Amino acid sequence: MADFIIEIGTEEIPSNMIPALVGELEDKVRARLAEKRIPFEAIKKFGAPRRIGLCIWNIAEKQPDSDETLLGPPASIAMNDNGEWTKAAEGFAKKNGLKLEELKVIEGPKGKVVGAEVQVKGRTAEEILAEVIPAAVDSLYLPKSMKWGDGEHEFVRPVRWVLALLDTKVVPMNIKGVEAGNTTRGHRVFGKEGAVVADPTAYFDTLKHEHVIADIEERRKKILRALGDLAESVDGKWHDDKPETEELLKSVIFLSEFPSVVLGEIPQEFLSLPTPVLSTCLREHQKFFSVYKNGIGSKHEILPYFLAVCDGPRTLGETRTILEGLKNVTIARLQDAKFFYEHDKAVKLEKRLEELKGILYHPKIGTYYDKSRRMERYARELAPFFSIDPDVAAKAALLSKCDLASLLVQEKEFTSLQGVAGGLYAESQGEDPRIARAISEHYQPVMGEDGKASPYSLAVTVADRFDTLIEFFKIKETPTGSKDPFGLRRAGKMVVEILADASLYEGGAKPKVSLEELARRWYGKDCPELLEFLKERLRHFFENAKSPDGKSRFQYDEINAVLATPMNNLIDMGERLSALNAVRQEHREDFDALGVAFKRSRNILKGLPSYRLDPAKFLPENSKEGVCERELHKAYIQIKDKAEEDIARGEYRGALRSIATLRPHVDKFYDEVLVMCDPEGKDPQKTAVQQNRLALLERLTKLFYKIADFAEIVPRES
């Protein structure tokens, strides 16, 4: 066994591209080594601004030998009528180093051919790696790439050196025009070029001497320790548990090869800026972390400090010089932010509505003013479903896009503050707090301290995303394959999740919103494509639901069964799905059998009119068929009222348990009763019996269908 390392040294790679590159490189090398049948113990990926690579620990030094069957030309031309080998067979033997006596006729994919059984000696790991690594690098996906020199080679950034060692031996290979060697390069400023690496196990320590931490997790831990220690030194915390901060952390890990963190001060004059504006300015323009005094999140006081991740070791004097430079650049950015914010908050949001007429939303759809007016209407109509004030919801929706005309957002300096900026302006201008919060959160509703979202925020969010879906579906600009330029899948996902997730709402309140009704009303006509699109988003929502053990909570056929019913109250659909899943586990055989019977009933009833059920028309009790149909009718009557009452109250488990008791009666009915006893309608008496049986099946299927389409239930294997 041996160890192997490949390091591809480059000019600085954009930080957001490194994780995907090293991840894909690992996947491709794993796959290729598996194809070549050469085992190894583990792979460790590493990456930094000027290098990506892999360590492969305990790789076999050669492939195992293998027996292979070589196939040659068809037997019809390889052997003559006398059973002698022809020139074609001799050529095949010579090409493969075989003797004629080793040849034989064997069955090939397209008939009999000449062939031979041979033992193939395993190739060495050195040979295989020399092929596999360059091929894997050449196949990497590059969202952006560069050419250098004469333009012969192309990669994410120009390749400057390649390190490839199998234990102590250089593996000869050429990557993007660079021959592999046994040297690496240290930090661009604090390290040296041509640092010799003795073997793969010495690689990481060798680089540390040259002020490079190649191990991704080690850099992460070093940054986290420094951030925590420096924040605590001023009685603060650096992490606000927001995804933006986590993304910044991922970024700085790949912006530095030897990270060090410095603590700088924010001038007092800028602390009057709202926390979201101040923290966004530091994060997005400077790649700095904010420091919070107590707790986490935007509602807590921000301290007059920032944390910056630098690259390379720093002395105290160097740190002071760096901080002075960082402070000067930061002040310029903060001055812009303060000017924009102070100017914007002096202009009432209502006055910005007129300015929205000049901001195009889409050439075929209109302006943001048009969108705001539609959202105003939609939010007003949604308000009763969310049990909120229609006027408040409508005003929040109308003003929600006004900050697009503000300097803070329009100048492209702080585009990520869309919505948040509007909420801050609304708050400073004395608007209803419910309106300010809804404006602030309509791009992404936020859980409050009680763990619930504002219903006004949810209503405005649904109005916004639903409007986006409707307008783009009207002009036929819909997602195709992996392309979704207008983010319609995200919009549909958010609409569905808000309307289907009961945990968002206070006190167990459930907005009884009919998705189908809203879509038709706001679209102006039937919209099957949009409804099918939303149904798929709902399917994904249910498929991603997890049980406590981390497994998928629902079976695919259970999801299909509920999705086959109208998309009315989505929370209710989720509750029906939960009940179906739970009771099915209790009564597995009953539900499997009922699913088969339901499908059979639906097929029989397809295309037929509705008939009146008259118990007097059942056959006499002294006949086998009469007994079976009467027993099924009796069992149905016994559970009907309670099941319907349970369904009306949302007690779906109780209703399903009642329905499960019908199974033996349904089985017996289908075993003994010929439903279509007069399919051609020639005998009036039989026709009456047939219609009565159809009426009974219709009532049964309607009762089932109030919860799910049982025909979608697939019997499970025992």
Highest mean pLDDT among 19-33, 99-113, 327-341, 601-615: 19-33
Mean of the per-residue pLDDT values of the chain: 88
* CATH code, 497: 1.10.3210
In a domain, 189, yes or no: no
552: pLDDT strictly greater than 60: yes
Longest distance between any two alpha carbons in the chain, whole Å: 107
Instruction: Let me know whether 373 and 512 are in one domain.
Output: yes
Task: Provide CB contacts within 8 A for 593, sequence distance 6+.
Answer: 663, 666, 667, 715
The predicted-structure confidence for 413-433, as pLDDT tens digits, reads as follows 678 889 999 999 999 999 999
In a domain, 576, yes or no: no
Residue 171 tokens read as 């593996």
In a domain, 473, yes or no: yes
Domain edge (last residue) among 323, 345, 367 = 345
Percentage of residues in the chain having pLDDT higher than 90: 51
DSSP string, 158-197: -EEEEEEEETTEE---EETTEE-BSEE---TTTS-S-EE-
Instruction: Let me know whether 389 and 512 are in one domain.
Output: yes
Q: Judging by beta carbons within 10 Å of its beta carbon (0-12, 13-18, 19+), is residue 201 exposed, middle or buried?
A: middle
Q: Which domain holds residue 435?
A: 350-570
Domain edge (last residue) among 321, 345, 369 = 345
Which amino acid would we find at residue 92? F
Cα separation, 335 vs 356, whole angstroms: 26
In a domain, 619, yes or no: yes
Helix axes 684-705, 588-605, angle to 10 degrees: 130
* CATH code, 46: 3.30.70
Cα separation values, 60 from 53, 128, 135, 198, 199, Å: 19, 11, 20, 20, 16
For residue 406, what pLDDT band results from cuts at 50, 70 and 90? very high
The predicted-structure confidence for 522-539, as pLDDT tens digits, reads as follows 998 889 999 999 999 999
Instruction: Let me know whether 102 and 245 are in one domain.
Output: no
Tallying the residues shown for the chain, one arrives at 718
Rounded mean pLDDT of 479-495?
91
Q: How many domains does the chain have?
A: 5
CB atoms within 10 A of CB 711: 23
Q: What pLDDT does residue 187 have?
A: 93
Instruction: Let me know whether 510 and 601 are in one domain.
Output: no
Q: What pLDDT does residue 317 have?
A: 59
Query: pTM for the full model?
Result: 0.78
Cα separation values, 637 from 624, 633, 642, 657, 659, Å: 20, 6, 10, 15, 11
E-state strands within 540-630? none
Closest C-alpha among 195, 225, 226 to residue 211? 195
Instruction: Let me know whether 411 and 520 are in one domain.
Output: yes
Instruction: Let me know whether 542 and 427 are in one domain.
Output: yes
Cα separation, 676 vs 674, whole angstroms: 6
Highest mean pLDDT among 7-11, 125-129, 286-290, 601-605: 7-11
Instruction: Let me know whether 167 and 282 are in one domain.
Output: no
Q: What pLDDT does residue 298 have?
A: 43
Residues 273 and 338 sit within 8 Å (Cβ to Cβ): yes
- Which stretch of 399-403, 513-517, 651-655 has the lowest confidence by average pLDDT? 513-517
SS3 138: helix
Instruction: Let me know whether 492 and 633 are in one domain.
Output: no
CB atoms within 10 A of CB 21: 23
In a domain, 206, yes or no: no
Q: What pLDDT does residue 549 have?
A: 81
Task: Provide CB contacts within 8 A for 634, sequence distance 6+.
Answer: none
Closest C-alpha among 707, 675, 680, 710 to residue 691? 675
Rounded mean pLDDT of 214-236?
94
Q: What pLDDT does residue 103 have?
A: 80
Torsion sign (Cα): 374, 366, 517, 494: negative
Instruction: Let me know whether 684 and 594 are in one domain.
Output: yes
Alpha-carbon torsion angle 58, 59, 65, 69, nearest 10: 140
Instruction: Let me know whether 279 and 358 are in one domain.
Output: no
Instruction: Let me know whether 17 and 32 are in one domain.
Output: yes
Rounded mean pLDDT of 403-416?
84
Cα separation, 198 vs 212, whole angstroms: 17
To which residue do tokens 């709202």 refer?
274
Cα separation, 26 vs 139, whole angstroms: 12
SS3 79: strand
297: pLDDT strictly greater than 70: no
Instruction: Let me know whether 657 and 673 are in one domain.
Output: yes
Q: Judging by beta carbons within 10 Å of its beta carbon (0-12, 13-18, 19+), is residue 305 exposed, middle or buried?
A: buried
The predicted-structure confidence for 91-141, as pLDDT tens digits, reads as follows 888 887 788 777 878 877 778 888 887 777 778 889 999 999 999 999 999
In a domain, 192, yes or no: no
Q: What pLDDT does residue 116 have?
A: 82
In a domain, 398, yes or no: yes
Residues 619 and 689 sit within 8 Å (Cβ to Cβ): yes
Q: What pLDDT does residue 197 have?
A: 93
In a domain, 645, yes or no: yes
Domain edge (last residue) among 540, 570, 600 = 570
Scored b (16 or more CB within 10 A) or e, 170-192 reads bbebebbebebbbbbbbbbeebe
CB atoms within 10 A of CB 599: 16
Q: What pLDDT does residue 682 have?
A: 84
